[in-house]
Structure 1
Amino acid sequence: MRATALALCLLASPLAAQTADEVEAARQAYNDGHWDLAMTVLIPAAEAGHPDAQNVYGIALKDGEGTEANPPAAIGWYEKAIAQGHQKAMYNLGHLYQNGAEGVPQDFDKARALYEQAIESGYGAAANGLALMYERGEGVEKDLSKAVEYYQIGAEAGEKHALYNLANYYRLGQGVEEDLNRALELYTESALAGHPQAWNAVALFNQHGMVGAPNPEAAYLAFRKAIDGGLALAGVNLGEFATSTEGWWQDPVEGYGYCLWGINNAADSDRENFIQTCEPLVEYLTVEEEDAAKRFAESIGAE
């Protein structure tokens, strides 16, 4: 729908005079994966000085989406947007320097300065990047208390990664006193903001009754949310859950199917462990049931 709206915008006005609405439509189209179409608006808009377009064009150059990857060139477009006060560009350039890319070596001093600039300008979400630097000791002395401080700033801004990371600290009692109730609150807020790992954590809390009594139905639903977000680990977890936990969700065939989905979507480093975890689930299935589980696994991605 957004791509169609953008295409209509392109027919309605010349490329040399993109409106703010057209740039926003292009940004949304880019986020939806319609990169080539989005670039027909974003590149001329960036060249014309539109800061949102400059920021997204920088992202495209960094990731090679809709244009040839060129991380060093991304820096210049981020800087143009930053010169106009674009907060997300401050964060994006900081993230680029923190992690590095082809042709862009890591520079923790620049990353920290950009994150601080973004936070001072009111973009609290950038605090997650700065928290990670204190957590890992990247260009600063490792300091978990400072990491918590910045995760808190990010969490207050509703940044889903900061919410999730802060929840981990409360769950483990790192840098703060252990507080499982607070951890679950933060995981839930992160999950509702779209963080698949947070949905998996919410599921585990409910499955094992880490706060209050076990709630297997809530666990099942949260695992499904994590799977919808593409988290392979959640498939393996739900596979074991659906095989062994009594209730309307119990189904050994679907359980093995969830496990297969997790294996099929796993990172190479995780796949062997997932295979070993899932092997016992197929032991008592017939050949027909195993085939049904494979079909179910294929259907998950098609939903």
Structure 2
Amino acid sequence: MRRVLSRVGARFSHRARLAHALALLAEGEAVEGFGHLSVLAEAGMPEAQFRVGRAYLDGTGVPPSLVEGARWMRRAAEAGWVEARLVLGTLHLFGLPKEADATQGLRLSAETPADIVSDPAAAAHWARLAAEAGSPDAQALYGYILANGPDGLRDEPAAEAWFARAAAAGCAQGHLGLGLAWLRAATDDAGRARAADALRHAADAGLGSALHLLAAMTEQGTGIPRDPVAATRLYAQAAERGVRAAQARYGLALLDGRGGERDPVRGETWLRKAALAGDREAAALLGDVYARGGDLPPNFLEAATWYRRAAQGGHGAACRAVGLLYLTGAGLPRDVTEAARWFRQAAALGDVRAGADLGNLLLAGTVSDDDRRDLGRYFARAAEGGDPLAAYNFGVCLAEGLGMERDERAAVAWMLKATDGVVNAQYWYGRMLLDGRGCAPDPVAGRTWIARAATAGMADAQVALAQLLLAGRGGARDHAGAAALYRQAAAQGQVDAMFSLGALYGGGHDIPPDRVEAERWFRMAAERGNALGQLMLGRYLLRGLAGTTDGGQARLWLERARAQGVSDAAVELARMGPAAGTGDDTAPSGDDVVDRSAAGPA
């Protein structure tokens, strides 16, 4: 009966027909309801024009069309309909097809044109009209445009005032805008706490972006007490609302057990959601998860998939990771050319390590002549553009003749340019000064530059400087200082430094001998494949020089040294005969096994 009355009333007035159309929409009769709305819209009824525009935007009762939706919104907005002005401002801000401003009639099409153009000025015009009419959402939108628009529109004090009006009316977006404005302006904890309070109002209203920001502030202790548990809870709420960055952070928290119990399965699920939604950092993290393994064995094939997704999104570290997978053949076919291509892309995106990887490829001689020439040209262009890491790599190419003619004089000049900030360049420049490559030999200056690289923590430079201190080249002898440098390098896994420490403590240097310590360092070097370390450990165990004799172990280490081509190991084994040695009279004396040259200069 009510529907019959509605239809009867619809014949007599526009208002009744509008009510009938809305009733049809509510009952699921979208096509019939839209038909009534379109008649009213053509007759000039602003609310009907707004609802027709909304129907086109939502695809309700008609194929979706951004163009037609915008046209009808414009007609309603020009007629003064406040909601239409708000929607039209939003559409202009995020982009409309150029043809949406045309005045031709309806075009029934589900296609969305590709030439989407943002128009902040038009967005500001329509948002301001709606804001001045009292719409809190429009006030927040206008504040956003004033806070983030181009220079001609930007007005941060006015933006804050509009955000405040929207917030006072209970608009969550207004609270969010105030929080962001106050956070940008904050110079102390009080200012950051004020921003957090505004964001909390927006978060309480369920705004995902506010929940994410509040989570980050809670995690870092910015303006509010640091609370990992509360931060994880907020990340979870933001993640549930589809905020990609929050999904990534929540997934990482679950993987690491931050703010709650560790849950690798759910953590991987949330990272996957964020990555599939386009979060490149989440994709890179997933690559790390699968490459690293942990609860499950590493899956380099899966890691390659996610690293590649992140790399295609412009993630520099992920580009480098793809290059490393190609270089090692883990999860991808081994292809040095592809590795170099990905390293170049990573370096172009600012990944400093990728530039070093490219240099290492050249030094290792693992790339083709064409690739060497391409890399050389790449380094030359980047070096001439002021990139210090490229200047270093270009210097290496010139010094070694990699992909170009050898030119040591030019190499020295480029190395000097690269020394400002590139530790490897400081080391190389020092070595070139020591050896007189491309310049007159200058041991004092060479030692100074190598010392700079050593102080910066470069293990190879620490070993080189220790050798200079032992020999007194370029400055005074200092065996105790050399031992300290070898220890620093050994702590970074530098195997030659481990062997050299064994040689230093074995005797014959300006530090007290300590053969127990010497054997410990020889063992560390031997276990890491150092051939001379294996020789010396075998000798120590054969003679019992550190207090323990073990003929079986001595033979084992001497055989390993002989397998690496150490002739002295073959001599020791011949003296031992077919049976395990026991330190008989045929063994050389303890003094004979001290290798005084082992820790000497390069």
TM-score of the two chains, using structure 2 as the length reference: 0.41
User: Which residue of 349, 357, 370 maps to 1:56?
Assistant: 357
User: Which residue of 430, 441, 451 maps to 1:131?
Assistant: 430
Give yes or no for the alignment of 1:253 onto 2:552. yes
Q: In structure 2, what is the equivalent of residue 112 of structure 1?
A: 412
Shift of 1:6: 5.5
Change in Cα spacing, 1:38 to 1:45, as seen in structure 2 (3 Å) is: same
User: Which residue of 312, 315, 319 maps to 1:19?
Assistant: 315
Asked if the contact 1:164/1:198 (under 8 Å) is kept, the reply is yes
Asked if the contact 1:152/1:166 (under 8 Å) is kept, the reply is yes
Give aligned pairs, total: 279
Shift of 1:63: 3.6
User: Which residue of 514, 523, 539 maps to 1:215?
Assistant: 514
How far apart are the structure 2 equivalents of 1:45 and 1:234?
35
Deviations for 1:63-121, whole angstroms, at most 9, x for unmatched residues? 454x54542222123345546765444323322322234x533211222122212212x
How far apart are the structure 1 equivalents of 2:339 and 2:314?
7
User: Which residue of 199, 221, 237 maps to 2:536?
Assistant: 237
Give yes or no for the alignment of 1:227 onto 2:529. no
Greater relative contact order (CA < 8 Å, ≥ 6 in sequence): 1
Secondary structure at the aligned position of 1:151 is classed as helix
Shift of 1:256: 2.9
Change in Cα spacing, 1:33 to 1:91, as seen in structure 2 (3 Å) is: farther
Map residues 31-42 of structure 1 onto 2, 5 A cutoff: 34=330, 36=334
Paired letter, 2:377: G
Asked if the contact 2:498/2:522 (under 8 Å) is kept, the reply is yes
Shift of 1:193: 2.3
Shift of 1:240: 1.7
Change in Cα spacing, 1:97 to 1:41, as seen in structure 2 (3 Å) is: closer
Q: Which runs of 5+ in 1 are unaligned?
A: 266-270, 291-303
Cα RMSD (Å) of the superposition?
3.3
**Greater per-residue helix proportion:** 1
User: Which residue of 141, 152, 155 maps to 2:454?
Assistant: 155
Higher-Rg structure is: 2
Give yes or no for the alignment of 1:141 onto 2:445. no
How far apart are the structure 1 equivalents of 2:336 and 2:535?
37
Q: In structure 2, what is the equivalent of residue 190 of structure 1?
A: 489
How far apart are the structure 2 equivalents of 1:33 and 1:217?
42
How far apart are the structure 2 equivalents of 1:33 and 1:220?
38
Change in Cα spacing, 1:257 to 1:282, as seen in structure 2 (3 Å) is: farther
TM-score of the two chains, using structure 1 as the length reference: 0.76
Give yes or no for the alignment of 1:90 onto 2:391. yes
Once the two structures are overlaid, the 10-residue window that deviates more, 173-182 or 22-31, is 22-31
Q: In structure 2, what is the equivalent of residue 301 of structure 1?
A: none
How far apart are the structure 2 equivalents of 1:30 and 1:2?
16
Change in Cα spacing, 1:285 to 1:95, as seen in structure 2 (3 Å) is: same
Secondary structure at the aligned position of 1:130 is classed as helix
Paired letter, 1:275: S
Asked if the contact 1:181/1:211 (under 8 Å) is kept, the reply is yes
Shift of 1:144: 0.9
Secondary structure at the aligned position of 2:357 is classed as helix
Shift of 1:234: 1.7
Asked if the contact 2:409/2:437 (under 8 Å) is kept, the reply is no
User: Which residue of 554, 558, 576 maps to 1:284?
Assistant: 576
Give yes or no for the alignment of 1:76 onto 2:374. no
How far apart are the structure 2 equivalents of 1:227 and 1:81?
42
Secondary structure at the aligned position of 1:168 is classed as helix
Change in Cα spacing, 1:218 to 1:92, as seen in structure 2 (3 Å) is: farther
Deviations for 1:33-56, whole angstroms, at most 9, x for unmatched residues? 748278757625735843545663
Asked if the contact 2:434/2:446 (under 8 Å) is kept, the reply is yes
Asked if the contact 1:45/1:54 (under 8 Å) is kept, the reply is yes
Q: Which runs of 5+ in 2 are unaligned?
A: 1-290, 582-602
Change in Cα spacing, 1:146 to 1:220, as seen in structure 2 (3 Å) is: same
How far apart are the structure 1 equivalents of 2:488 and 2:355?
31
Secondary structure at the aligned position of 1:72 is classed as helix
Identity score, percent: 20
How far apart are the structure 2 equivalents of 1:113 and 1:6?
42
Asked if the contact 1:256/1:278 (under 8 Å) is kept, the reply is no
Shift of 1:62: 5.6
